[in-house]
């Protein structure tokens, strides 16, 4: 018999002592009795005297009652220690079943007829494995997809484990074997006869299969200069590797077929110059051993943009680019592969036959220019078809500041107003001055030259300002504590600065644009960089990022920007199936994890529940390793080929707690009956 309970013996002893003291105390403390008046106690005295002749027996019965209660207590406390008969059998094993529930397990090749999925076949094999376990063997089921999720604790209860296995569903993500092996090795640490059984089709990336260490070797000492390189190499490899020393790892393969053609890449982007148009990139690969024929269709919403037949040789990957596609109201794109009738048309894995993408949102901005006639500024804006410009003079704005109401962007050219436009309109200043300047000025600079720019800032993307001429410029004193940052320096003097003020964004140039009657001069408007600078600025104001990706792979954790989020710490993610989950927002970036293929909607809300920022995302399998559904009958992990699991040795084990609890319950019932029948009192 062994005691495997989680309660330390010292605590158990205290509990036992306390419980026994309570029980004895309950017997010692005199019970307060109900008073009852009798007319003639002499009669009772006679009866009791007669009964008291057996007082020794009476006391003995009371003692027996106490002993019975103490016995019940002892039984319950022993049961709490989870005693087990036969668990010390050296052949008993601790097993973690790594159950592959990745996307490839959805392949319909669990049986010859193609009516059963790999997942179902894996469940059958796992249950057979569980059923073959001995009484002393303990097993834990761990689901492996993009994450490693323990589905049960270590138990020898076969029906419970089978129920857990039955409840597993496959996700749309690739499997992360490394993470799962690490979790299994941690779970098996200090357990006797550890065993990991990988139930899978073997569709793992090569990189994951190598991150395993079978021997707990020591790092090579770095004292010897000649061994330094070896030591560094050893450490780099082994610190990332999963330590499986002394762990027996077995592989239980499932799957039969390999014929699959899948979309392995699908993305879309708008043209920078013409955001109304976009181009699409698709990669399709034949993972089968036979030539395949498919119909590839591209849809924009429900409208078919292109449908074509593609023929793929075994293993061939083709790339399709659809250029200069005209935009439409619907920003959802979908690529679809349909098997053609005849030879090479079969496909047992449907998940990668569809892929989804989203065009970045596009919005026409209302721009108000507050300027005297400035041909450079107006001309630059007119070439950008994504804006709706309006112009007023500074005098008109001063007379009627409400003209800026409802504007997305207001540009002040050589003018700093007393009354700022209402938020969230973003503001662009050229040479702001005076007390109302959005940025504090600390002087002026003659003939400055832009020597450094913040290349990471969206405004400075693809822009070169290194030899721009300016005859003078204001120098700002941005305060980083207020979120103000410098995006262009003249040596160490900030001359272009930006900031976020809640949902409003503000950008200021320290210099003026050339105009009639203005003594300031710069050649910036004559450069290619100027319209690009304006477009970048307007895109930044609008929250558009030309290089923003809206299409991700399932099973990967990405951080996506949520423009204009202030104060929110978490966003709501609506999945393809309509499910709602929460995800944290850190520094304006929301964490996104797609477990299913399809469209997602990430929304940040303010305290009142009103949407603050929202972004649509698409998730695709996009994993050649998962789409390559050819089952691996053999799996090599860290250079060691895994064997199928052997039959479990027959071990005996009886968990005694249930019997002890039943015994305690029987004794309690007996005590109750004997007490109420006045046998033990």
Partner 1 sequence: MAPAASASLSSIKKSAVARDNRVADRSELFDERFLKTLEHLHMVSRKVFAGNIRAERRTRKVGSGIEFADHRTYSRGDDFRYIDWNLYGRLDKMLLRLFEEEEDLYIYILVDVSDSMAIGSPLPKLHYAMQVAAALTYVGLANLDRVAIIPFADRIIDRLPPSRGKNRIHRVFEFLRSCDLGGKTELAGCMKDFVAQNKRRGLAVVISDFYDPEGFEQGINTLRYNKFEPFVLQVYDKREAEPQLHGDLALVDCETGDTREVTVSKSLLEQYTKAHEAYCKELEAYCTKYALPFFRTHTSIPFDQLVLKIFRSGGFLR
Binding site residues, partner 1, CB under 8 A: 31, 33-48, 50-51, 677-678, 681
Query: Could you give the C-alpha distances from 538 to 204, 424, 532, 550, 594, in angstroms and in order?
Result: 44, 14, 10, 20, 31
Question: Which one, of 394, 487, 474, 488, lies nearest residue 440 by Cα?
Answer: 474
Task: Decide whether 32 or 608 has the Cβ nearer to partner 1.
Answer: 32
Q: How far is the CB of 27 from partner 1 (least distance, A)?
A: 13
In the complex, least distance from residue 25 CB atom to partner 1, rounded to whole angstroms: 18
Nearer to partner 1 among residue 45 and residue 582 (C-beta): 45
Q: Which is nearer to partner 1, 44 or 469 (CB)?
A: 44
Measured from the CB atom, the residue of 171 and 680 that comes closer to partner 1 is 680
644: CB partners within 8 A, 6+ apart: 250, 251, 252, 253
Residue 324's contacts (CB-CB under 8 Å, 6 or more residues apart) are 271, 277, 279
Rounded Cα gap, residues 187 and 391, in angstroms:
69
Comparing CB distances to partner 1, the nearer of 36 and 517 is: 36
The C-alpha angle with vertex 397 and arms to 394 and 401, in degrees rounded to 5, equals 150
- Which one, 608 or 677, has the nearer CB to partner 1? 677
- Give the residue with the Cβ less far from partner 1, 66 or 589: 66
Query: Is the bond preceding 424 in cis, omega lying within 30 degrees of 0?
Result: yes
Please provide the DSSP assignment of 388-431 as one string.
EEEEE-HHHHHH-GGGGTT-SEEEEES---SSPPPTT-EEEEES
Q: Which two tokens stand for residue 248?
A: 């027996």
CA distances (Å), origin 94, targets 136, 149, 201, 400: 9, 18, 23, 79
CB of 32 vs partner 1, minimal distance in Å: 9
Q: Are strands 570-574 and 387-392 parallel, antiparallel or unpaired?
A: unpaired
Task: Determine the Cα–Cα distance for residues 297 and 307; give it in Å rounded to an integer.
Answer: 4
Taking the least distance from each CB to partner 1, the nearer of 58 and 574 is 58
Task: Give the integer Cα–Cα distance in Å for 270 and 333.
Answer: 13
Nearer to partner 1, 313 or 681 (CB): 681
State in Å, rounded, how far the first CA of the chain is from the last one: 36
CB of 37 to partner 1, least distance (A): 5
Which of 50, 303 has the CB closer to partner 1?
50
- Tracing tokens 């892929």 back to the chain, one arrives at 355
In whole angstroms, the minimum distance from the beta carbon of 48 to partner 1 comes to: 6
C-alpha to C-alpha distance for 495 and 162, rounded to whole angstroms: 69
The C-alpha atoms of residue 553 and residue 557 are separated, in whole angstroms, by 9
Instruction: Note whether 476 and 510 are within 8 A (CB).
Output: yes
H or E element in which residue 488 lies? strand 484-490
Work out how close the CB of 26 gets to partner 1 at its nearest, in angstroms, rounded to a whole number: 14
Closest CA to 438 of 473, 400, 397, 482: 482
What does R_g of the chain's alpha carbons equal in angstroms?
38
Q: Residue 444 pairs with which residues in a beta bridge?
A: 474
Write down the least CB distance from residue 59 to partner 1, Å. Answer: 13
Extract the tokens encoding 405: 């109401």
d(CA 249, CA 644): 9
How far is residue 361's CA from residue 544's CA, in Å, rounded to a whole number?
A: 7
Q: CB of 677: closest distance to partner 1 in angstroms?
A: 8
The residue among 43 and 526 lying less far from partner 1, judged by its C-beta, is 43
| Shortest Å distance, C-beta 649 to partner 1 | 58
Would you say 481 or 678 has its CB closer to partner 1?
678
CB nearer partner 1, residue 40 or residue 57: 40
- Closer of 42 and 223 to partner 1 (Cβ): 42
Nearest to 268 by CA among 364, 316, 335: 335
Q: How far is it, in rounded angstroms, from Cα 573 to Cα 581?
A: 5
Nearest distance in Å: CB 127, partner 1:
56
State the Cα–Cα distance between residues 344 and 358, nearest whole angstrom: 31
In the complex, least distance from residue 61 CB atom to partner 1, rounded to whole angstroms: 11
User: Which residues, at least 6 apart from 587, have a Cβ–Cβ distance to it below 8 Å?
Assistant: none
Residue with Cβ nearer partner 1 (40 or 435): 40
Q: Closest distance between partner 1 and the C-beta of residue 30, in Å? A: 9
Describe the crossing of helices 657-676 and 55-80 by its angle, rounded to 10 degrees.
Answer: 160
């Amino acid at each position: 018999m062994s005691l495997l309970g989680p309660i330390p013996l010292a605590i158990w002893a205290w509990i036992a002592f306390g419980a026994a003291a309570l029980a004895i105390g309950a017997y010692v403390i005199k019970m307060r009795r109900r008073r009852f008046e009798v007319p003639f106690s002499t009669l009772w005295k006679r009866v009791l005297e007669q009964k008291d002749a057996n007082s020794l027996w009476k006391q003995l019965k009371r003692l027996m009652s106490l002993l019975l209660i103490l016995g019940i207590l002892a039984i319950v406390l022993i049961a709490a220690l989870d005693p087990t008969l036969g668990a010390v059998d050296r052949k008993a094993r601790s097993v973690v079943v790594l159950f592959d529930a990745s996307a490839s397990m959805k392949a319909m090749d669990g049986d010859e007829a193609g009516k059963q999925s790999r997942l179902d076949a894996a469940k059958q094999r796992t249950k057979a494995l569980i059923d073959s376990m001995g009484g002393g063997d303990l097993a834990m089921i761990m689901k492996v997809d993009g994450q490693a999720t323990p589905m049960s604790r270590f138990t020898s209860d076969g029906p419970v484990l089978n129920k857990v296995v039955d409840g597993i569903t496959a996700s749309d993500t690739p499997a992360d074997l490394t993470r799962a092996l690490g979790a299994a090795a941690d779970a098996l640490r200090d357990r006797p006869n550890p065993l990991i059984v990988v139930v899978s089709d073997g569709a793992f990336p090569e990189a994951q299969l190598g991150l395993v260490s079978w021997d707990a070797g020591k790092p090579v000492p770095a004292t010897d200069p000649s061994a330094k390189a070896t030591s560094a190499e050893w450490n780099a490899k082994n610190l990332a590797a999963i330590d499986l020393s002394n762990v027996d790892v077995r592989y239980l393969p499932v799957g039969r077929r390999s014929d699959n053609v899948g979309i392995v890449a699908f993305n879309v982007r708008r043209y920078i110059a013409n955001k109304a148009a976009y181009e699409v990139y698709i990669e399709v690969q034949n993972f089968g051993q036979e030539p395949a024929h498919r119909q590839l269709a591209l849809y924009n919403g429900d409208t078919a943009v292109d449908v074509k037949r593609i023929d793929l040789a075994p293993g061939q990957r083709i790339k399709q680019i659809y250029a200069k596609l005209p935009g439409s109201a619907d920003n959802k794109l979908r690529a679809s592969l349909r098997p053609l009738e005849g030879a090479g048309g079969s496909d047992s894995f449907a998940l990668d036959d569809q892929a989804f993408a989203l065009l970045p949102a596009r919005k026409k901005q209302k721009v108000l220019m507050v300027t005297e006639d400035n041909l450079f500024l107006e001309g630059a804006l007119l070439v950008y078809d994504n804006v709706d410009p309006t112009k007023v003079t500074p005098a008109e704005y001063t007379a009627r500041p409400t003209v800026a109401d409802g504007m997305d962007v207001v540009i002040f050219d050589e003018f700093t107003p007393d009354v700022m436009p209402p938020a969230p309109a973003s503001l662009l200043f050229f040479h702001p001055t005076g007390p109302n300047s959005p940025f504090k000025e600390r002087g002026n600079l003659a003939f400055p030259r832009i020597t450094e720019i913040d290349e990471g800032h969206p405004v400075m993307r693809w822009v070169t300002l290194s030899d721009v001429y300016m005859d003078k410029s204001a120098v700002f004193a941005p305060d980083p504590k207020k979120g103000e940052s410098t995006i262009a320096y003249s040596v160490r003097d900030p001359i272009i600065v930006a900031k976020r003020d809640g949902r409003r964004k503000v950008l200021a140039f320290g210099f003026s644009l050339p105009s009639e009657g203005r003594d300031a001069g710069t050649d910036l408007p004559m450069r290619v960089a100027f319209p690009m600078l304006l477009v970048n600025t307007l895109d930044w104001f609008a929250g558009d990022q030309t290089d923003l990706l809206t299409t991700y792979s399932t099973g990967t954790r990405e951080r996506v920007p949520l423009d204009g989020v202030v104060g929110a710490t978490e966003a709501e993610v609506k999945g393809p199936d309509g499910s709602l989950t929460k995800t944290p927002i850190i520094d304006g970036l929301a964490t996104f994890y797609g477990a299913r293929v399809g469209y997602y909607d990430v929304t940040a809300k303010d305290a009142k529940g009103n949407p603050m920022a929202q972004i649509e995302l698409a998730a695709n399998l996009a994993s050649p390793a998962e789409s390559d559904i050819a089952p691996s009958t053999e799996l090599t992990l860290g250079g060691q080929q895994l064997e199928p699991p052997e039959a479990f040795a027959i071990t005996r084990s009886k968990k005694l707690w249930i019997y002890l609890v039943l015994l305690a319950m029987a004794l309690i019932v007996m005590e109750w009956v004997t007490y109420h029948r006045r046998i033990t009192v």
